[in-house]
């Protein structure tokens, strides 16, 4: 792959640099030259010296900023047909005349100078301008000694052949630069968007920034004037600063691409680039002419950085590193030719770096595709692992849910058993206690009747459980009537006068469970009055007030303290009290039990919301 790319680059270079070989073309590589100042409108009469073309006048007149006139002469035998005229290189701006007749002139021959150095000049000379015998071409070149002012060779001959050669030179020296800038901007935009979508991948941001600086530098090969700068020095200082910034950001990109972070080194690079940019704006008259003092070390630094990265990539064994190294190597090798042109080491005038832009585009495209594929592989592996983990977690969760379900069933069964025990205690237990007390106090002749009453009480208590459980829509007034009747009979047997006050219970439905809990709590409270209070009167209030229900049971007996001191009544705070508190909790209400405020008897109060 590398050999193919190198061969293509070499072939393009040959095509771009070698003139087309055709008959009737004369290439003139000698002339006469004389210097003058900016204001001279005609060449001096004296001082002409012979020069070889391409002529770099800085070697002859090192500090000359201004105008150099070039006089080129040739013999023309046939003046009946048009003749092609090709000027290979004029730096920076020029005015051209043939046999005393002007045929071309740049827009500005003084500062700010026009910039037409990057393209050749072609003219089709009509027969009217030609002379039989000697013809004279006079070229006025405006330039500055610091920026390689020069005049290239002149070719005269077949218009068709020279026009083809001009098109090839223009393509290599200008059109390809435009193409390179367009490709670079597209690549910078694509990578920049990728960075905006993934800001954590900073290497793409640095590449986009370096590509933007690189495209600004490419504008040097396209711009026809130094605008927006007022002088050529300002333009050259700006272009040199852009090149330094491009080198700094490109180096940081290579570091990030290699997964290396050298913060201090990166800050030094950015600081140097910033200093050069500031000086270029503030002191263009110095930074422009002296650009080689910092551009040349920057070029050498780029060669070192690129070489180190290539070696690192070859040793790493990673495919994306090696592909990018190959893509960098091609421009690196071609840049040796461009460096020779820039430094004037040989007579070339074409910069070939623009031919390598598609290589970099393919390289970065491969790097993005490769990293995307690697990311997708990691995502697929993560998804597979996640699926396994989810399946394992699902299995574990199912086992846990099954265990919890089994525990819930066991807890439910235990709760039902406990509830049954409480119901038996609060219902049948209370009934049996009352019945036993009555039988113990009854004379023998009433035993039969008392046993019958006992069985009826047990039947009624069982009916209470059945009714509150089976009837989904029974209101509280209906359910409390049997309990009220039975409790009143029980209390009367103990000579306790019961006073009931029931308000607002018609149509009130608490549901089977809550209704049974409320009735059992009331039944246990009255049983405690019957067993422990030694009271003569008990007041029962059950009232509905808005969204709340209030139960109040107050007797005039010995109170809680007296019941606790009585040896025979030590059970007053036992299972019955705990059962009442549990039922109050299930009802969502607040249960308060204490001695009456006047010190006579006990008060039980329950306040609960009607909603469950």
- Does the pLDDT at position 4 exceed 60? no
Domain assignment of residue 423, yes or no: no
**pLDDT at residue number 290:** 93
pLDDT grade for 3, boundaries at 50, 70 and 90: very low
Burial class (CB in 10 A: 0-12, 13-18, 19+), 428: middle
**pLDDT at residue number 347:** 59
**pLDDT at residue number 355:** 64
CATH number at residue 124: 2.60.120.260
If you average pLDDT over residues 20-49, what whole number do you get?
A: 85
- Does the pLDDT at position 5 exceed 50? no
If you average pLDDT over residues 59-65, what whole number do you get?
A: 91
Domain assignment of residue 278, yes or no: yes
Place of tokens 């070039």: 70
**pLDDT at residue number 404:** 86
**pLDDT at residue number 13:** 46
* Residues 187 and 151 occupy one common structural domain: no
Q: What is the pLDDT of residues 255-278, one digit of tens each?
A: 988 888 899 999 999 999 999 999
Q: How is residue 161 written in tokens?
A: 């052949």
* Residues 281 and 140 occupy one common structural domain: no
* Residues 182 and 319 occupy one common structural domain: yes
**pLDDT at residue number 190:** 85
With b for 16 or more beta-carbon neighbours within 10 A and e for fewer, the 232-245 pattern comes to bbbbbbbbbbbbbb
- Does the pLDDT at position 160 exceed 80? yes
Q: What is the pLDDT of residues 100-145, one digit of tens each?
A: 999 999 999 999 999 998 899 999 999 999 999 999 999 999 999 9
- Does the pLDDT at position 85 exceed 90? yes
* Residues 213 and 91 occupy one common structural domain: no
Using a pLDDT cut of 70, give the percent of the chain over it.
Answer: 79
Domain assignment of residue 603, yes or no: yes
Question: How many CB atoms neighbour CB 316 within 10 A?
Answer: 14
pLDDT grade for 151, boundaries at 50, 70 and 90: very high
* Residues 286 and 370 occupy one common structural domain: yes
Average pLDDT, the chain: 82
Domain assignment of residue 137, yes or no: yes
pLDDT grade for 97, boundaries at 50, 70 and 90: very high
Compare 188 and 414 and report the one with higher pLDDT: 188
Number of domains in the chain: 3
* Residues 69 and 103 occupy one common structural domain: yes
CA–CA–CA angle 331, 332, 335 (5° rounding): 80
* Residues 515 and 367 occupy one common structural domain: no
Among 23-27, 237-241, 502-506, the minimum mean pLDDT is found in 23-27
Q: What is the pLDDT of residues 553-586, one digit of tens each?
A: 999 888 876 665 444 443 445 677 888 898 899 8
If you average pLDDT over residues 61-65, what whole number do you get?
A: 92
Place of tokens 């070499």: 10
pLDDT grade for 595, boundaries at 50, 70 and 90: confident
If you average pLDDT over residues 518-535, what whole number do you get?
A: 87
The range of the structural domain enclosing residue 574 comes to 474-609
């Amino acid at each position: 792959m590398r050999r193919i790319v190198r061969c293509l680059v070499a072939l393009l270079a040959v095509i771009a640099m070698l003139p087309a070989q055709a008959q009737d073309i004369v290439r003139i590589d000698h002339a006469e030259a004389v210097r003058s100042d900016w204001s001279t409108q005609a060449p001096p009469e004296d001082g002409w010296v012979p020069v070889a073309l391409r002529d770099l006048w800085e070697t002859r007149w090192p500090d000359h900023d201004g105008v150099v006139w070039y006089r080129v002469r040739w013999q023309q035998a046939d003046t009946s047909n048009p003749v092609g005229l090709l000027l290979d290189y004029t730096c920076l701006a020029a005015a051209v005349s043939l046999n005393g007749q002007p045929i071309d002139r740049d827009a500005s021959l003084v500062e700010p100078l026009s910039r037409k150095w990057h393209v050749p000049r072609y003219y089709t000379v009509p027969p009217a301008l030609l002379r039989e015998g000697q013809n004279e071409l006079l070229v006025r070149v405006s330039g500055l000694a610091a920026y390689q002012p020069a005049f290239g060779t002149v070719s005269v001959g077949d218009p068709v052949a020279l026009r083809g050669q001009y098109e090839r030179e223009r393509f290599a020296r200008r059109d390809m630069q435009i193409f390179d800038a367009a490709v670079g901007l597209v690549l910078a935009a694509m990578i920049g968007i990728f960075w905006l979508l993934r800001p954590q991948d900073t290497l793409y941001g640095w590449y986009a920034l370096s590509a933007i600086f690189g495209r600004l530098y490419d504008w040097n090969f396209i711009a026809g004037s130094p605008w927006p700068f007022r002088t050529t020095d300002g333009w050259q200082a700006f272009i040199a600063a852009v090149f330094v910034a491009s080198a700094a950001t490109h180096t940081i990109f290579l570091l990030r691409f290699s997964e290396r972070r050298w913060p201090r080194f990166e800050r030094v690079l950015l600081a140097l680039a910033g200093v050069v940019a500031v000086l270029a704006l503030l002191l263009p008259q110095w930074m422009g002419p002296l650009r080689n003092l910092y551009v040349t070390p920057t070029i050498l630094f780029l060669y070192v950085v690129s070489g180190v990265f290539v070696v690192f990539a070859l040793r790493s064994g990673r495919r994306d590193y090696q592909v990018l190294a190959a893509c960098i190597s091609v421009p690196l090798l071609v840049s040796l030719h461009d460096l020779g042109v820039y430094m004037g080491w040989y007579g070339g005038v074409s910069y070939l770096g623009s031919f390598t832009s598609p290589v970099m585009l393919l390289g970065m495209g491969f790097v993005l595709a490769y990293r995307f594929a690697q990311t997708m592989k990691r995502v697929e592996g993560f998804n597979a692992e996640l699926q396994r983990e989810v399946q394992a977690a699902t299995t574990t969760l199912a086992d846990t849910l099954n265990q919890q379900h089994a525990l819930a069933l066991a807890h439910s069964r235990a709760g039902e058993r406990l509830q049954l025990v409480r119901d038996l205690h609060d219902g049948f237990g209370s009934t049996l206690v009352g019945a036993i007390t009555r039988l113990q106090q009854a004379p023998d002749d009433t035993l039969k009747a008392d046993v019958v009453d006992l069985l009826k009480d047990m039947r009624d208590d069982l009916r209470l459980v059945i009714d509150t459980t089976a009837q989904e829509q029974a209101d509280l007034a209906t359910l409390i009537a049997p309990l009220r009747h039975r409790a009143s009979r029980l209390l009367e047997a103990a000579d306790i006068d019961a006073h009931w006050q029931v308000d607002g219970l018609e149509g009130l439905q608490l549901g089977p469970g809550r209704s049974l809990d409320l009735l059992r709590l009331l039944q246990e409270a009255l049983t405690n009055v019957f067993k422990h209070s030694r009271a003569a009167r008990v007041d029962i209030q059950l009232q509905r007030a808005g969204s709340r229900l209030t139960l109040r049971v107050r007797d005039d007996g010995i109170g809680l303290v007296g019941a606790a001191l009585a040896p025979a009544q030590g059970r007053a705070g036992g299972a019955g009290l705990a059962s009442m508190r549990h039922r109050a909790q299930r009802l969502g209400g607040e249960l308060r039990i204490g001695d009456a405020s006047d010190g006579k008897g006990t008060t039980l109060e329950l306040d609960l919301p009607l909603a469950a």
